[in-house]
Chains A and B, each alone.
Chain A
Amino acid sequence: MDHSQDTELLTEFVAESLNGLESIEKDLLSLESEGGSDTALVNRIFRAVHSIKGTGSYMGLDPLVRLSHLAETLLDQVRSNEREATSDVTDAILAAVDGLTGMLQSADLGQSYDCGEAVGKLNQVLGLAKIAPAPPSVEEKPALPSKSPTKEKAQGPSEEDHDSGLVEEFVAESLQNLTDIELDLLSLESDGGTDKELVNRIFRAVHTIKGNGSYLKLENLVGVAHRAETLLDRVRSGTESASAVVTDAVLAAVDALVSMLRTPDLGATFECLVPLAKLDRALNGSPQHVSSATLSASDIAQIKQAETGKGTTFRIDLDLERIQQAVDIKEGVIVGLSSIGKILFTSIPKEQIDKTPKGTCIVFLETVLSTEMLCDHFNLKPETVTQIDTKGLSPGNGGSSNPLATSPESSAEKKPQPIDSPKTIPAELASIPSRPGTDKPNQDKALASKEAAKAAAEQSMRVPVHILHKLLEWTGTMVMARNQLMNEFDFRGSTAFRTLSQSITGVHETVIETRMQTTGSLFERYRRIVRDLSRQLNKEVALHIEGGELELDRTILESFADPLTHLIRNSLDHALETPAEREAAGKNRQGNIFLRSYIHSGEIILAVEDDGRGICAERVCSKAVSKGVITQAYANQLTDHQKVMLIFQAGFSTKDEATDVSGRGVGMDVVRNNIEAVGGSIDVVTKVGTGTTFSAILPLAKALVSSSLTKALVVDIQDERFAIPETAVSEIIRYDAKAMTNIVQVDGENVYQLRDQLVALVDLRQALGMEQQSNRKEHACLVILQYRKHQFGAIVDNVLGIQEIIVRGTPKLLQNCGIFSGHTVLGTGRVSLILDINGLVSKLSLRFLDQKHGNSKRAMAESPDGSQTKNRQKQKMVVFSFSNNEFFAIPLELVAIIERISLDSIRTVGTKEYCQIKNETISVMRLDTFLPISKFDVARKDCCLIRPAAVTFPLGILTGPDVTIIDVDDSFESRLDDQNGIVGTFMHNDRLVMLLDVFSVFEQHAPDKLKMQEVQTGLAKILVAEDSLFFRKLIKQYMQRDEWTIEIVNDGVEAWEKLQAEPKRYNLVISDINMPRLDGFQLASKIREDRRFDAIPLVALTTLSDDHFREKGLSLGFDRYVVKIDKNQVRATVAECLQIRRTPGKR
């Protein structure tokens, strides 16, 4: 074995052990959460620790072995039900896991690692606290191997005639075999010893070792192996069952053999009395009885109680067959024993002892006789008699003082000698007492989990990442070459090529699969952090994991590990309150943290949500100002969300005193930087008193590692091909570049009218700085791209279709371009760049026109202090001029389309004007007809036609050419009473803008079309929930009718409160859908759940005209779903609803 192999082996060992430790941790946590009752889990943890110990001792890592040994001992006690899996135990084991992890991660693999804390904890739990914290015995023990296994093998027994190569081979093979045997034994034990094939395998492996060893004349080794073989042969042939004693003995033998193989003389001088004794005992004894008898706590209590203090207490392992033949006790064993002392305890009920012909019975006898006299008297073998100090006897006092599980030798030595005696450690190492199958119900479970573990072990192997990288790289190249071939030649007829092609695809997919990992695997790691921290901080916290099945490339997932840790620590420390505080705030004592992963509009989102105290925007802001992060003037301009986002600024920490957990100067800015480093971003949504959600956002395109396959839209810009990730493309529109159909100017920029929304336009030629060599073809294409919640249009020369491309990273030399996420090679063999949508947006500093009224409302609902922001609610207004100095506004949500027309296209028919747009005749409305305003400036030929949304007949308001969209506070001045047609006025850029009462204007424009036909309804009280001031006014106007009493409230919560206060008061409820606090959908479900309101009709009055909203509304209990604005329809619906009698219970 040369040095490099050694390193490789070590690396392997470290990786495997770290994996193991990780799963131990996970298992421990689930063990704790279910109260420590799952035997299968305990067994699994035990096995994992044992295998770390085993491998570690093979590597000669003494400190690591010592620590894992202690942990193993403790676990064994849990496993054999001698100890409950209390949180102290879990703590100690977790400490050990941490210690081991620390060791494995240290440069010298823990040779100089200080694990005093973990050892202390373990010893404390084990009741060995008085003994030195780190038992130094292993180093002092002469028989144990020296540090490096490599050297020893080189020094192998060259005095023998065998060449050292052969010996090395033997050692390597045997060690491998022994590892397998150990694993098999543990599986055998956990499945209750029924698996014949396993027994056979173990037998064959031991036999091989014996055979080879005897060829090499390693007598000592052969001695051990032979006995183990004999024992196993009995098990194999069925004369012996695979009981705990048998497994125990064979495991002891395995440990001894491993130790021997690692000594320079291959065990020739190795002290192996303990395993031999164990094997002998197993061979001679009748294990059936033994396995059913164990000293429980009550047994020990019984012994202690019975003890008189006269004489010495002995433990006698009675061989019943032998003792019954002893001449002196013809009268019976018990009587015989009683004659010389007091029987304190028997493992088999006394009256049955004489009827049991064979087997071993453990007897505790208090007598004044010495060991020798006792042996002589009853013809006992000396090794079966042990002097016991009952004071040190407890069910949980280490494997060595469990009288059943250990050989007499070790017990005997245990007492007088401290743990650092040279012999005790091998005895302990060899003792893996166990009691399989004692718990019938758990057996199946254990079996199942064993099968699963076995399957998992067989299915996974560790491969260095760089090999996977290379493999993927080559596969990617293969796919690209294949695509090129398909482009160049016609292979349609060739089956061979098809097979080749499919294989290449298959290989590629498989390679990608090897790298994928679920987010759940990352999330599970945080259980431990949450558990430990919540205990440390005296908080009660539950961690919920959702969407853990999302798969990401491991390397990318890993880059989120640290930021998420930080966010979770932060939530625990700062956000979540103590149980007392929570109770005081009317919350559940237990705080919750949610870890979620999901894909939303082309982005992967990993969210950490808590239901803690939330972040107060004002506090953050004032803190930022006091820390000099921002100026007060700047702070005044910030929205609440922006204020909260200040926590991501460098040098920011809101908690005044830094705690142990977070706030050590490493702030949220590091989290942000880490996430941004992988091309992601971070966002936070919080509400004071309710909780906070941090979201790490990564565009799907960024989540692809080099050489993965993805779908992309290939476009042509100035004869260069570019790829746009398919995830970013929402639709493709062919449009006439010259006519500029559907393009309007907003704020001096081109904006495309896409159905009912306006999208910003980007000419990619200009954006990419490509010189205008050829004139744009008449029919260019518009690719509508999705960026977060926004859309924008990119003008390209042509679209070549969607292709599967291999993503390759951006060469380092090109990385500062910022608008490419990578490149690919197309079928033509040409390199093609992949556009990075996020990069493009930030490079061009694109602004989005937030079209949907819902957006601003949603933002408000999420803002920390609803009531405060209420007054400052923004509303989007379309502002236009009619004549030069008079400006009008219409709420954006009432606008369907803004058409650019020429005055020439307006035709006059009688007194009415019409305009033909796309085969539709639209009635043109001039505001000066109804309002006392200036005449339209006829000198201007270009103008716009604003078409209102949700009006049943074609109609357009003629406006000047400049139409802009602005944000307006809801606090406009009302002029409702003095002017018909104007709802109010507000100031914008020092200009007075008049807010049109659209409906009234329309009614005046076409009275015949919108004439009301009133239905008699009788007196009615109507409750209206509407948060927008504008609509409140509008609705009030709509509903003006003598017999109707209208009460308007601000949101769903207020409406619900009103209903609760006077359930019988209202005849009808009208509700908006988008509202803060409680939206219309929620309100409807609440009302419909309450039988008292069965008879009240519900009308949804909204601007959400999409069918699925309508369906949702109706399914939640709305009787009618009316889109705002059409006064006629609203009134008619209300009247109709007041007529009907609801069928109670109907939804």
Chain B
Amino acid sequence: MQISTFLIQNEAFAVPSLVVEEYFRPLPITKVPGSNRCLDGLVNIRGRTAVVINMRTCFEVPPRDPSDLGEMILLETSQGLVDEARELGLYAFDEPVVLSVDSVSQIFQLAADEIHPAPPHVNQPFVDGVIQLDEAYFTMVSIQKLIETILHGKTEELR
């Protein structure tokens, strides 16, 4: 399986490449008053409106310097998933979602058994497992948990 990695405050995270539609430079965000604090707002990507999830807020990391806009990862929608992703049982939300990250990083190829369950001390709600590649560690982000938490307004879990 191929994974796409990205950085949040120098920590490396990963999502399956099959659920990533594209990377892009930040677009102007429209804030949504009263929304979940993990959400930055809305962006217009070529006529489609996507909700921007701020990964720093989700992982309880202090915000970036306002001048640093980071990078954006547009995730596939459930309709847009390729068959391979479906077979692997990968999750995708049915509306466009963007992850706002510090920077996108490399893409790696790995076997499914290289993803290990998160060690007990990793106390983060949106983690599917960890990956060790050579000396580097990556945290596998559970997009499903992330989205469902926001969807059901369980903000207390975000603390």
**Contact assessment for A814 and B153 in the assembled complex, using a CB-CB cutoff below 8 Å:** no
With both beta carbons as reference points, the residue of chain A lying nearest to B27 in the complex is identified as: A829
* Number of A-B contacts defined by CB within 8 Å: 67
* Interface status of A770 (Cβ within 8 A of chain B): yes
Which residues of B have CB within 8 Å of A830? 28, 30, 44
Stretch at the interface among B31-39, B55-63, B83-91: B31-39
Q: Which of B28, B48, B97 meets A813, CB within 8 Å?
A: B97
Query: A811 to B77, alpha carbons, bound, how many Å?
Result: 13
**Contact assessment for B34 and A769 in the assembled complex, using a CB-CB cutoff below 8 Å:** yes
Question: Given known contacts A480-B47, A823-B49, A830-B44, is B33 in contact with A813 (CB within 8 Å)?
Answer: no
* Interface status of A818 (Cβ within 8 A of chain B): yes
Question: Given known contacts A823-B42, A830-B30, is B49 in contact with A812 (CB within 8 Å)?
Answer: no
Which residues in window 805-850 of A have CB below 8 A to B?
A: 808, 811-814, 816-820, 823, 825, 829-833
Q: Which of B34, B41, B151 counts the most chain A CB atoms within 10 A?
A: B34
* Interface status of B21 (Cβ within 8 A of chain A): no
Question: Given known contacts A813-B97, A833-B32, is B151 in contact with A481 (CB within 8 Å)?
Answer: no
Question: Given known contacts A768-B33, A813-B147, A814-B39, is B51 in contact with A829 (CB within 8 Å)?
Answer: no
Query: A770 to B33, alpha carbons, bound, how many Å?
Result: 7
Question: Which 6 A-B pairs give the minimum distances between C-beta atoms?
Answer: A477-B47, A768-B33, A831-B42, A831-B30, A817-B34, A813-B51
**Contact assessment for B49 and A808 in the assembled complex, using a CB-CB cutoff below 8 Å:** yes
Give the shortest distance, in Å, between B37 (CB) and chain A (any CB): 11
Q: Which of A481, A813, A830 counts the most chain B CB atoms within 10 A?
A: A813
Which residues of B have CB within 8 Å of A831? 30, 41-44, 49
**Contact assessment for A825 and B49 in the assembled complex, using a CB-CB cutoff below 8 Å:** yes
* Interface status of A1054 (Cβ within 8 A of chain B): no
Which residues of A have CB within 8 Å of B47? 477, 480-481, 825
* Interface status of B22 (Cβ within 8 A of chain A): no
Q: Which of A721, A812, A819 meets B34, CB within 8 Å?
A: A819
With both beta carbons as reference points, the residue of chain A lying nearest to B152 in the complex is identified as: A816
Query: A808 to B47, alpha carbons, bound, how many Å?
Result: 11
Q: Which of A477, A481, A811, A816 meets B42, CB within 8 Å?
A: A811
Which residues of B have CB within 8 Å of A811? 42, 49-51, 95
**Contact assessment for A813 and B150 in the assembled complex, using a CB-CB cutoff below 8 Å:** yes
Query: A949 to B21, alpha carbons, bound, how many Å?
Result: 66
Interface of chain A, helix or strand or loop or mixed?
mixed
Which residues of B have CB within 8 Å of A808? 49
Which residues of A have CB within 8 Å of B94? 812
Which residues in window 73-105 of B have CB below 8 A to A?
A: 93-95, 97
Which residues of A have CB within 8 Å of B95? 811-813
Which residues of A have CB within 8 Å of B39? 813-814
Give the shortest distance, in Å, between B76 (CB) and chain A (any CB): 16
* Interface status of A720 (Cβ within 8 A of chain B): yes
Query: A933 to B106, alpha carbons, bound, how many Å?
Result: 85
Query: A831 to B27, alpha carbons, bound, how many Å?
Result: 11
Q: What is the total number of residues of chain B having a CB less than 8 Å from a CB of chain A?
A: 26
The interface bits of chain A over 441-479 (1 if a CB of B lies within 8 angstroms of the residue's CB, else 0) are 000000000000000000000000000000000000100
Q: Which of A477, A768, A814, A830 counts the most chain B CB atoms within 10 A?
A: A814
Give the shortest distance, in Å, between B39 (CB) and chain A (any CB): 6
Which residues of B have CB within 8 Å of A481? 47
Which residues in window 137-153 of B have CB below 8 A to A?
A: 147, 150-151, 153
Give the shortest distance, in Å, between B48 (CB) and chain A (any CB): 8
Question: Which residues of A approach B to under 8 Å, CB–CB?
Answer: 477, 480-481, 720-721, 768-770, 808, 811-814, 816-820, 823, 825, 829-833
Give the shortest distance, in Å, between A622 (CB) and chain B (any CB): 39
Which residues in window 4-30 of B have CB below 8 A to A?
A: 28, 30
Question: Given known contacts A812-B151, A813-B151, is B34 in contact with A818 (CB within 8 Å)?
Answer: yes
Which residues of B have CB within 8 Å of A768? 33-34
**Contact assessment for A832 and B32 in the assembled complex, using a CB-CB cutoff below 8 Å:** no
Query: A819 to B32, alpha carbons, bound, how many Å?
Result: 10
Q: Can you list 22 contacts pairing A with B, beta carbon distance less than 8 Å?
A: A477-B48, A480-B47, A481-B47, A720-B30, A720-B31, A769-B33, A808-B49, A811-B50, A811-B51, A812-B93, A812-B94, A812-B151, A813-B95, A813-B150, A814-B32, A814-B51, A817-B35, A823-B30, A823-B49, A825-B47, A829-B44, A833-B30
Query: A756 to B48, alpha carbons, bound, how many Å?
Result: 46
Give the shortest distance, in Å, between A464 (CB) and chain B (any CB): 15
Query: A832 to B33, alpha carbons, bound, how many Å?
Result: 12
Give the shortest distance, in Å, between B116 (CB) and chain A (any CB): 30
Which residues of A have CB within 8 Å of B41? 831
Give the shortest distance, in Å, between A698 (CB) and chain B (any CB): 23
Query: A812 to B153, alpha carbons, bound, how many Å?
Result: 11
Query: A814 to B42, alpha carbons, bound, how many Å?
Result: 10
Query: A205 to B90, alpha carbons, bound, how many Å?
Result: 54
With both beta carbons as reference points, the residue of chain A lying nearest to B50 in the complex is identified as: A811
Query: A825 to B151, alpha carbons, bound, how many Å?
Result: 23
Query: A56 to B95, alpha carbons, bound, how many Å?
Result: 40
With both beta carbons as reference points, the residue of chain B lying nearest to A819 in the complex is identified as: B34
Query: A833 to B42, alpha carbons, bound, how many Å?
Result: 9
Give the shortest distance, in Å, between A822 (CB) and chain B (any CB): 10
Which residues of B have CB within 8 Å of A832? 30
With both beta carbons as reference points, the residue of chain A lying nearest to B53 in the complex is identified as: A813
Give the shortest distance, in Å, between A812 (CB) and chain B (any CB): 6
Which residues of B have CB within 8 Å of A820? 32
**Contact assessment for B44 and A813 in the assembled complex, using a CB-CB cutoff below 8 Å:** no
Which residues of A have CB within 8 Å of B153? 816
Which residues of B have CB within 8 Å of A833? 30, 32, 42
Give the shortest distance, in Å, between A765 (CB) and chain B (any CB): 10
With both beta carbons as reference points, the residue of chain A lying nearest to B48 in the complex is identified as: A477
Which residues in window 112-159 of B have CB below 8 A to A?
A: 147, 150-151, 153
Query: A1067 to B129, alpha carbons, bound, how many Å?
Result: 95
**Contact assessment for B44 and A825 in the assembled complex, using a CB-CB cutoff below 8 Å:** yes
Which residues of B have CB within 8 Å of A823? 30, 42, 49
Give the shortest distance, in Å, between A788 (CB) and chain B (any CB): 23
Give the shortest distance, in Å, between B113 (CB) and chain A (any CB): 33
- Not counting A812-B151, A817-B35, a sample of 11 additional A-B residue pairs whose C-beta atoms are within 8 angstroms of each other reads A481-B47, A811-B49, A811-B95, A812-B94, A813-B150, A819-B34, A825-B47, A830-B28, A831-B42, A831-B44, A833-B30
Query: A442 to B73, alpha carbons, bound, how many Å?
Result: 70
Query: A1103 to B50, alpha carbons, bound, how many Å?
Result: 54
Which residues of A have CB within 8 Å of B49? 808, 811, 823, 825, 831
Q: Which of A480, A819, A830 counts the most chain B CB atoms within 10 A?
A: A830
Query: A830 to B41, alpha carbons, bound, how many Å?
Result: 11
Query: A817 to B35, alpha carbons, bound, how many Å?
Result: 5
Query: A768 to B41, alpha carbons, bound, how many Å?
Result: 14
Give the shortest distance, in Å, between B86 (CB) and chain A (any CB): 19
Query: A829 to B34, alpha carbons, bound, how many Å?
Result: 23
With both beta carbons as reference points, the residue of chain B lying nearest to A832 in the complex is identified as: B30
With both beta carbons as reference points, the residue of chain B lying nearest to A768 in the complex is identified as: B33
Query: A481 to B48, alpha carbons, bound, how many Å?
Result: 11
Which residues of A have CB within 8 Å of B35? 813-814, 817
Query: A818 to B151, alpha carbons, bound, how many Å?
Result: 13
Which residues of A have CB within 8 Å of B147? 813
Give the shortest distance, in Å, between B51 (CB) and chain A (any CB): 5
Which residues of B have CB within 8 Å of A812? 93-95, 151
With both beta carbons as reference points, the residue of chain A lying nearest to B36 in the complex is identified as: A813
Give the shortest distance, in Å, between A470 (CB) and chain B (any CB): 10
Query: A819 to B34, alpha carbons, bound, how many Å?
Result: 8
Query: A76 to B66, alpha carbons, bound, how many Å?
Result: 80
With both beta carbons as reference points, the residue of chain A lying nearest to B43 in the complex is identified as: A831
Query: A833 to B30, alpha carbons, bound, how many Å?
Result: 8
Which residues of B have CB within 8 Å of A721? 30
Query: A816 to B94, alpha carbons, bound, how many Å?
Result: 17
**Contact assessment for A817 and B32 in the assembled complex, using a CB-CB cutoff below 8 Å:** yes
Give the shortest distance, in Å, between A1059 (CB) and chain B (any CB): 60
Query: A830 to B35, alpha carbons, bound, how many Å?
Result: 18
Query: A808 to B95, alpha carbons, bound, how many Å?
Result: 12
